[in-house]
Chains A and B, each alone.
Chain A
């Protein structure tokens, strides 16, 4: 459906996107005329102060939301024209999600959690199991397949969540503050893992983070303020500018 044969078409292409909550006095422009495009294989970090619209942008990119104004093309397909179910199918086929709070199903083994997206895709049981085991091995959770989330450390839970995002062979992994609940050492391990997936498997990664240390893993930083893209470029350049303006 959203597979473009043309390698030059960006995976993610936002044209003047606005997302407005509320009316009149209470109106909030969570995104205010955002235009940006992300090419296949990029590793992008979205940064900015709290409330600047980063999560809103991620939900938009992740096809969980629809813009108030503007066009979003995913692989050249107008997401704004898709129904709720069509967007669900697009998500299951092309996108993987990693959340700050891991969001694994409680009292459900790592393996069952990772198999979940494949169940919705209708992958047969045996194949599903093999793919899930493979994804868990990739994130270094071999031997932990049958543990519940409560029996895993924070870092291990986030690895399981990455395995779940990874299992359907997505084009894009979207991670909203994936290291927000982890200490520095574990955060760096998770970043190494994302970097590996980006470099080896050519998965496009879009990540929201507060920390420069994590953002330096990306090739590109998008700095948002008040629902607008204020700066967009390589990490060093963006940080340098922010330091000078601060």
Chain B
């Protein structure tokens, strides 16, 4: 009997194909949106985790400025300087190596080509901290670093923008008013979870950067690699203690600098992603509810429109429950079809979006199952009232309709 009812429901849905499509559109959009949001959200979380793993979980960053990380928090605190870098390396056994890192955004020009890129001043130790191989040319020589010579290593994106596939080594590019010789090319890394292109970069010796680009000896960030035999947490505590001492912060006073490790960065980023995903999913869930109300609305119209049909069914011997079941099953089948289409649509959208955003496509089977059950529940909840109305019709009245 139940299969018979399902078959009848599919028949009735098929008989009113256009109206059926319009009816389920709300559910399709609702389910599709939820699935797309959650899948993309999951993908970007996975990406952050993967990026952090790639960057190395033993990497820490020291920045001036109190309080939580955020824009404009280093405006009042004293900057860092080269001595801080040396002190970290020399005085802490838990630090393997460290490097200064100052960055800004500049136009890089070669001939008639130019591109806006991130320009950073650092030294050879940075390449060690982030473990970034050079595939063409070489790194900075000690003499170049000490003299602050205008030489640079570029990322793959900058190379493509200015040189295409040709060899850039030995060419000179102009950064602001500095003419800089290219001595090396980094291995391509791809986009980071921050959404930025990590290959869109030009590195030069920090002295050259300070002297010719910023005109100040300040250091805005220090990258630290923890020693392999100690935990990052331990290193973090050591760095904090040393920096407090160096910056003469008395007990009970707040830090005027920040030490972060990549794990924190990761959890902060995935936290943001999770909150965003949650918010958008809530919006999507509301649209699913609206979709359910749409189903109820159209089912009610359908019951009125099909009053005569219901009269015929009752006259030839259908019981009230058989009519109720028929309309209920119709609503459930409709919304489940909507759910399935929505799931496919959502996964499709998520696949495209993941591709565009260069994040992994991470469909979650549990979410898919929940969305499917939810759409079936929408059918039950919003189909019951119209179905009951159909079942309660009086056969004589119904047959006389229109």
Give chain A's interface residues, CB within 8 Å of chain B: 59, 62, 64-65, 84-85, 88-89, 91-93, 96-97, 99, 103, 105-108, 112, 116-117, 119-122, 125, 164, 168
Alpha-carbon distance A97/B399, docked complex (angstroms): 12
Chain B residues lying within 8 Å of A164, measured Cβ to Cβ, are 316
When the two chains form their complex, are residues A93 and B11 in contact, meaning their CB atoms are under 8 A apart? no
When the two chains form their complex, are residues B317 and A112 in contact, meaning their CB atoms are under 8 A apart? no
Interface segment among B55-63, B254-262, B319-327: the answer is B319-327
Q: Interface majority SS on A: helix, strand, loop or mixed?
A: helix
When the two chains form their complex, are residues B317 and A92 in contact, meaning their CB atoms are under 8 A apart? yes
Question: Chain A residue with minimal CB distance to B1?
Answer: A122
When the two chains form their complex, are residues A65 and B322 in contact, meaning their CB atoms are under 8 A apart? no
Please list the 4 inter-chain residue pairs (A to B) with the smallest Cβ-Cβ separation, ordered nearest first. Answer: A92-B317, A107-B15, A85-B319, A117-B316
When the two chains form their complex, are residues B320 and A119 in contact, meaning their CB atoms are under 8 A apart? no
B4 at the interface (CB under 8 A from A): yes
B12 to chain A, nearest CB (A): 9
When the two chains form their complex, are residues A121 and B1 in contact, meaning their CB atoms are under 8 A apart? no
Chain A residues lying within 8 Å of B396, measured Cβ to Cβ, are 59, 64-65
Interface segment among B79-87, B150-158, B307-315: the answer is B307-315
Alpha-carbon distance A107/B395, docked complex (angstroms): 21
Chain B residues lying within 8 Å of A103, measured Cβ to Cβ, are 308, 311-312, 315, 399
Q: Interface majority SS on B: helix, strand, loop or mixed?
A: helix
When the two chains form their complex, are residues A117 and B317 in contact, meaning their CB atoms are under 8 A apart? yes
- Kindly state the interface size class of chain B when it binds its partner: 20 to 34
Give chain B's interface residues, CB within 8 Å of chain A: 1, 4, 8, 11, 15, 308-309, 311-322, 395-396, 399
A148 to chain B, nearest CB (A): 10
When the two chains form their complex, are residues B320 and A85 in contact, meaning their CB atoms are under 8 A apart? yes
Question: Chain B residue with minimal CB distance to A65?
Answer: B396
Among A62, A89, A107, A125, the residue within 8 A (CB) of B319 is: A89
When the two chains form their complex, are residues A88 and B1 in contact, meaning their CB atoms are under 8 A apart? no
Question: Chain A residue with minimal CB distance to B5?
Answer: A119
Known: A59-B396, A119-B4, A120-B322. A88 touches B317 (CB 8 A): yes
Chain B residues lying within 8 Å of A88, measured Cβ to Cβ, are 314, 317-320
When the two chains form their complex, are residues B318 and A120 in contact, meaning their CB atoms are under 8 A apart? yes
When the two chains form their complex, are residues B317 and A105 in contact, meaning their CB atoms are under 8 A apart? no
Question: Chain B residue with minimal CB distance to A59?
Answer: B396
When the two chains form their complex, are residues A121 and B308 in contact, meaning their CB atoms are under 8 A apart? no
A240 to chain B, nearest CB (A): 34
Question: Chain A residue with minimal CB distance to B398?
Answer: A64
11 chain-A/chain-B pairs, Cβ below 8 angstroms? A64-B315, A64-B396, A65-B396, A85-B320, A92-B317, A92-B318, A97-B316, A103-B311, A103-B315, A106-B309, A117-B317
When the two chains form their complex, are residues B11 and A112 in contact, meaning their CB atoms are under 8 A apart? yes
Alpha-carbon distance A29/B11, docked complex (angstroms): 42
